[in-house]
Amino acid sequence: MAACVAQTKAPLASQPRLSNVRALAAKKVIVRNGFASSKRAPAKTLAMAMLAKEDYITVVPDSLCRPGIDLPDSTKVRFEQMIRKAQDSICSAIEEIDGTKFRQDAWTRATGGGGITRVLQGGNVWEKAGVAVSVVYGSMPAEAYRTAVGRGIPNLKDADRVPFFACGISSVMHPWNPHCPTMHFNYRYFETEDWNGIPGQWWFGGGTDITPAYLNEEDMKHFHGVYKQVCDKHDPAFYPKMKKACDEYFMIPHRGETRGLGGIFYDDLNDREPEKIFAFAEEAVNNVVNAYGPIVTKHKDDSFTPEQKQWQQVRRGRYVEFNLVYDRGTIFGLKTGGRIESILMSMPLTASWMYDMVPEAGSPEAELLDACKTPREWV
């Protein structure tokens, strides 16, 4: 991969939410659910050693993995290369629609790894859009490791820390027009090393989801249809399981409604050969533009009223509530001392909390809220 030249020196944002990144060690497959999205690990289980300070760079190396240690044909390096190519292609497609360019910040860490964050802010179509790649090396407390693998581990003491690797791409895009939905995706890989007689573990996680302010059934059928086709190609059981997992994960318990209108979501997935899950993740991330781009192009020039813009702001408030209170990626980043601009890249520029905001019965706003309270099947 050609070296990438940063557009600015001042730090802005990178290092995606590697919250739920679950990992790889290709020696043996441990069958797990992979779709249990509704359970959220307690914040205390995510506590980890603070990451080393970022060293900002202007020219990004071909790989952010450890040279001479992580082999080119390892899942670590191959996944990093795959998501960096996806970052390039997705950013190019978004720039073409918007007509403006992403700003880039990149860095490495002395302990290994680094990140590349690209942000388009104040564009023609998007108020704020970010696409971030991150590679992290760290150590996981025993409690977090037990939670991650879902079972007891012999010879693991409470004071032990298990070395881990996490790599992922994350993005959130907030358009100006309330008829254009917000979109989020995140694809990640996580592995722990063989350590102190404890075998290494690996997981994949990811998903793409959509958050409109106004319901357009044709748009939802298109978005979900793209991902159903991707899922069906790899396993017909994927879409119904991952769609359900997405609706469950993005539920805002204190509101009794979902953040948006779903998509696909999976975590802790290692129930088949890693090559098969890798291929699925690659196809899923490479279909982000196919699923989202036509919807934005269709609505970016739609007229809208101040009241419709206000409703978009209220729905963005829900987005903020979920991300700061429940999202495992955000919690992970804050607990590990990750780069704050990258962690909060997902936040919209503006949001609103109107007191006792209840949409009028039968209104388009009420229709959207009903779909968030009672998730629907779109395809």
DSSP states of 179-221 as a string? Answer: TSPEEEEEEEEEEE--BTTBPP-EEEEEEEEEE-SS--HHHHH
* Sequence-ordered list of residues with C-beta below 8 angstroms from that of 240, at least 6 positions apart, any chain: none
Active-site residue, selected from the candidate residues 184, 222, 224, 299:
184
Whether 103 contacts 119, CB under 8 Å: yes
* Sequence-ordered list of residues with C-beta below 8 angstroms from that of 266, at least 6 positions apart, any chain: 34, 35, 37, 204, 205, 206, 207, 238, 241, 242, 245
Whether 63 contacts 80, CB under 8 Å: yes
CA–CA separation, 183 vs 262, rounded Å?
A: 10
CA–CA separation, 326 vs 253, rounded Å?
A: 9
Q: Where are the beta strands (DSSP E) in 253-375?
A: 257-258, 263-269
* Sequence-ordered list of residues with C-beta below 8 angstroms from that of 142, at least 6 positions apart, any chain: 153, 156, 157, 158, 159, 160, 161, 162
Longest dimension (CA), the chain: 63
Block residue for tokens 């082999």: 71
Query: In the chain, what are the helix, strand and coil shares in percent, each to the nearest 5?
Result: 35, 25, 40
Tokens matching residue 300: 């970016």
Tokens matching residue 296: 């934005």
Tokens matching residue 347: 């936040």
Type of residue numbered 220: M
CA–CA separation, 231 vs 286, rounded Å?
A: 13
Other C-beta atoms lying within 10 Å of the C-beta of residue 357: 13
Asked if 184 is an active-site residue, the reply is yes
Type of residue numbered 353: W
Identify the bridge partners of residue 107 per DSSP, sorted by sequence position. Answer: 56, 115
The residues carrying an active-site annotation are: 184
